[in-house]
């Protein structure tokens, strides 16, 4: 039986790179996004181009009723979720110094990036526990960021959300180990997407001056490869661990 992956935020950017890699690995896909399906149609058709069955479930993971609908419609379509990829997230609407950050912007970002992801994971995990198929090998993978450990004082709410997701991974890995559910964190660095297009010149200069050991931007394809290795079980006996896809950015150097 084919395995199903639910990828939140899977129709663009890093999420689309992940979805593409999983499609190439033989997964059928449930793609979640905020856009109307018609607006995401180009990405969805690319995913279907090699014969992959792709289902689109629109919804905001920051809203409880929509989270529930995302999970229930996916299971109604495919019967089960083998792999959950928590990728959906937003950037700050406006960058504010930590001394100026207002509660409205803080709440908006944390409700989606951290709270929404936590309770979506909780829902899916409970359903994974109930699955009885003998060949069922469930896995939960959360996409965070090097911002989980590197401070950016003009987007503190984003850093806090990613640090929270890093701990969430450890918590669920600990709780779900007895049920043989693997839980991982993939931590990207500077990745070329539409979200980072506005800071391209800044990071071009930083990368050229040694920000990363590998002197290039990361790609959504790089992240997709890492997720696929985990989703297909090619790495084992490693639940709760972090796979960093950042070109050596966080290695301390003298």
Q: Contact at 8 Å (CB) between 101 and 48?
A: no
Nearest to 146 by CA among 77, 216, 244: 244
197-206: which pairs have CB atoms within 8 A and are 24 or more residues apart? none
237 is catalytic: no
- What tokens does 25 get? 């690995």
237 secondary structure, DSSP code: S
Q: Tell me how far CA of residue 7 lies from CA of 60, 116, 206, in angstroms.
A: 13, 14, 31
Nearest to 81 by CA among 125, 115, 49: 125
Nearest to 116 by CA among 76, 77, 161: 161
Q: Which H or E run contains 56?
A: strand 54-58
Check 158, 184, 203, 237 and give the catalytic one.
158
Report how far Cα 52 is from the mean position of its chain's Cα atoms: 20
Which DSSP string corresponds to 133-158? -TT---EEEEE--GGGTS--TTBHHH
- What tokens does 151 get? 């401070």
Catalytic site positions: 158
């Amino acid at each position: 039986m084919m395995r199903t992956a639910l990828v939140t935020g899977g129709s663009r950017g890093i999420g689309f790179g992940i979805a593409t890699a999983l499609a190439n690995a033989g997964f059928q896909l449930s793609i979640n996004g905020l856009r109307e399906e018609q607006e995401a149609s180009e990405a969805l058709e690319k995913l279907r181009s090699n014969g992959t069955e792709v289902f689109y479930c629109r919804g905001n993971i920051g809203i409880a009723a929509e989270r529930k609908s995302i999970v229930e419609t996916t299971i109604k379509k495919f019967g089960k979720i083998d792999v959950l990829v928590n990728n959906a997230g937003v950037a700050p609407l406006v960058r504010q110094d930590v001394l100026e950050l207002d509660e409205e912007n803080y709440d908006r970002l944390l409700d989606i990036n951290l709270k929404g992801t936590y309770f979506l994971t909780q829902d899916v995990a409970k359903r994974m526990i109930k699955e009885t198929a003998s060949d069922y090998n469930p896995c939960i993978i959360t996409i965070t960021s090097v911002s989980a450990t590197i401070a950016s004082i003009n987007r503190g709410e984003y850093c806090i959300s990613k640090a929270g997701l890093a701990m969430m991974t450890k918590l669920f890995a600990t709780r779900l180990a007895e049920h043989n559910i693997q839980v991982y964190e993939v931590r990207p660095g500077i990745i070329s997407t539409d979200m980072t297009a506005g800071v391209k010149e800044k990071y071009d200069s930083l990368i050229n001056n040694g920000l990363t050991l590998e002197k290039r931007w990361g790609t959504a394809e790089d992240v997709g490869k890492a997720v696929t290795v985990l989703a297909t079980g090619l790495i084992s006996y490693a639940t709760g661990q972090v796979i960093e896809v950042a070109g050596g950015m966080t290695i301390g150097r003298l």
